[in-house]
A and B are shown apart, each in its own frame.
Chain A
Amino acid sequence: MNMLVLDRRRVLAGAGALVVSFSLGHAFAQDQAAPAPSPPGSLKTSPFLDSWIRIDADGSITVFTGKAELGQGFKTAFQQVAAEELDVAFASLKVVTADTALTANEGYTAGSHSMQDSGTAIQNAAAQARGLLVAEAARRFDLPADQLRTENGQVVAPDGRRAGYGELVAGDILHVQAQATSSLKDPATFKVMGQSFPRVDIPAKVTGGAAYVQDLRLPGMIHARVVRPPSYGAELVECDGADIEKLPGVVSVVRDSNFLAVVTEKEYQSVKAMQALSAVAKWKETTRLPDQDDLLKVITGLPSQDHVIFARNNASAVGQTTVEATYVRPYQSHGSIGPSCAVAQLDGDMMTVWTHTQGVYPDRQAIAEMLHMPPPKVRCIHVEGSGCYGHNGADDAAADAALIARAVPGRPVRVQWMREQEHAWEPFGPAMVTRLKASIDREGKIADWNFEVWSNTHSMRPGGAGCMLAAQHMAQPFKVPPPKPLPLPEGGGDRNAIPIYTFPNAHVVHHFIPEMPLRISAMRALGAYHNVFSIESFMDELAAAAGADPVELRLGHLDDPRGRDVIAKAAQEFGWRRDQKPTPGRGFGFAFARYKNLAAYCAIASEVEVNRETGRARLIRAVAAVDSGQVVNPDGLTNQIEGAIMQSMSWTLYESVSFDQRRITSIDWQTYPILRFSAVPDDIAVHIINRPGQPFLGSGETGQGPAAASIANAIANATGKRLRNLPLTRKRIKDAIDA
Chain B
Amino acid sequence: MMTLKVNGRDHQVDAEPDTPLLYVLRDDLALNAAKFGCGLGQCGACTVMVDGKAVLSCVTPMVLLEGKQVTTLEGLGTTADPAPIQRAFMDEQAAQCGYCIAGMMMRAQALLMQNANPSDDEIRSELQPHLCRCGTHMRILRAIRRAAGLMNRADLSSESGAVR
Mark A residues whose CB is within 8 Å of B: 70-73, 198-199, 201-212, 214-215, 217, 223, 248, 266-268, 271, 335-339, 384-387, 389, 416, 418-419, 635-636, 639-640, 642-647, 649-650, 668-670, 674-678, 680-681, 683-684
Shortest CB–CB separation between residue B137 and chain A, in angstroms?
Answer: 4
Is the Cβ of B89 less than 8 Å from the Cβ of A642? no
Shortest CB–CB separation between residue B110 and chain A, in angstroms?
Answer: 15
B96 — which chain A residues lie within 8 A by C-beta?
71-73, 387, 639-640, 643
Question: Could you count the A-B residue pairs with CB atoms below 8 Å apart for me: how many are there?
Answer: 186
Is the Cβ of A217 less than 8 Å from the Cβ of B30? yes
Is the Cβ of B137 less than 8 Å from the Cβ of A680? yes
A205 — which chain B residues lie within 8 A by C-beta?
95, 98, 101-102
Give the distance in Å from the alpha carbon of A208 to the alpha carbon of B131 in the complex.
18
**Interchain Cβ contacts under 8 Å between A and B, 16 examples:** A73-B96, A203-B79, A205-B101, A206-B89, A206-B95, A208-B31, A208-B74, A212-B99, A268-B27, A339-B37, A386-B97, A389-B133, A418-B39, A670-B40, A670-B42, A680-B141
Give the distance in Å from the alpha carbon of A561 to the alpha carbon of B129 in the complex.
45
Shortest CB–CB separation between residue B107 and chain A, in angstroms?
Answer: 11
B155: CB under 8 A from chain A? no
Least CB separation from B120: chain A residue:
A682
Q: A206-B101, A209-B32, A384-B97 are in contact. Are A419 and B135 (CB under 8 A)?
A: no
Give the distance in Å from the alpha carbon of A337 to the alpha carbon of B46 in the complex.
11
Interface residues of B: mostly helix, strand, loop or mixed? loop
B86 — which chain A residues lie within 8 A by C-beta?
206-207
10 tightest A-B contacts by CB?
Answer: A646-B135, A71-B97, A387-B97, A208-B33, A205-B98, A643-B135, A386-B99, A208-B74, A268-B23, A669-B42
Contact residue among B78, B101, B130, B136 (Cβ-Cβ distance under 8 Å from A642): B136
Could you say which of B12-20, B111-119, B156-164 contacts chain A? B12-20
B window 30-73: CB within 8 A of A: 30-33, 35-40, 42-43, 45, 72-73
B39 — which chain A residues lie within 8 A by C-beta?
271, 418-419
Q: A207-B77, A268-B27, A635-B93 are in contact. Are A644 and B135 (CB under 8 A)?
A: yes
B window 124-145: CB within 8 A of A: 124-125, 127-128, 130-139, 141
B148: CB under 8 A from chain A? no
B78 — which chain A residues lie within 8 A by C-beta?
207
Is the Cβ of B93 less than 8 Å from the Cβ of A680? no
Least CB separation from A248: chain B residue:
B16
Q: A647-B135, A674-B133 are in contact. Are A199 and B93 (CB under 8 A)?
A: yes
Give the distance in Å from the alpha carbon of A155 to the alpha carbon of B11 in the complex.
55
B105: CB under 8 A from chain A? yes
Q: A203-B90, A339-B36 are in contact. Are A387 and B82 (CB under 8 A)?
A: no
Query: Given A72-B96, A676-B128, 14 other A-B contacts at CB below 8 A?
Result: A198-B90, A203-B90, A205-B98, A206-B82, A206-B102, A207-B78, A336-B99, A337-B45, A339-B37, A386-B99, A636-B93, A669-B40, A680-B141, A681-B138
B26: CB under 8 A from chain A? yes
B151: CB under 8 A from chain A? no
Q: A206-B90, A208-B102, A211-B32 are in contact. Are A419 and B38 (CB under 8 A)?
A: yes
Give the distance in Å from the alpha carbon of A268 to the alpha carbon of B36 in the complex.
11
Shortest CB–CB separation between residue B16 and chain A, in angstroms?
Answer: 7
A267 — which chain B residues lie within 8 A by C-beta?
23, 26-27
B4: CB under 8 A from chain A? no
Give the distance in Å from the alpha carbon of A338 to the alpha carbon of B19 in the complex.
20
Is the Cβ of B125 less than 8 Å from the Cβ of A678? yes
Is the Cβ of B38 less than 8 Å from the Cβ of A668? yes
Shortest CB–CB separation between residue B129 and chain A, in angstroms?
Answer: 8
Give the distance in Å from the alpha carbon of A110 to the alpha carbon of B45 in the complex.
26
Q: A639-B96, A643-B96 are in contact. Are A338 and B102 (CB under 8 A)?
A: no
Give the distance in Å from the alpha carbon of A645 to the alpha carbon of B73 in the complex.
29
Shortest CB–CB separation between residue B65 and chain A, in angstroms?
Answer: 15
B74 — which chain A residues lie within 8 A by C-beta?
207-208
Is the Cβ of A387 less than 8 Å from the Cβ of B134? yes
Least CB separation from B14: chain A residue:
A266
Is the Cβ of A206 less than 8 Å from the Cβ of B15? no
Is the Cβ of B130 less than 8 Å from the Cβ of A677? yes
Is the Cβ of B31 less than 8 Å from the Cβ of A337? no
Is the Cβ of A214 less than 8 Å from the Cβ of B36? yes
Shortest CB–CB separation between residue A90 and chain B, in angstroms?
Answer: 15
Is the Cβ of A202 less than 8 Å from the Cβ of B73? no
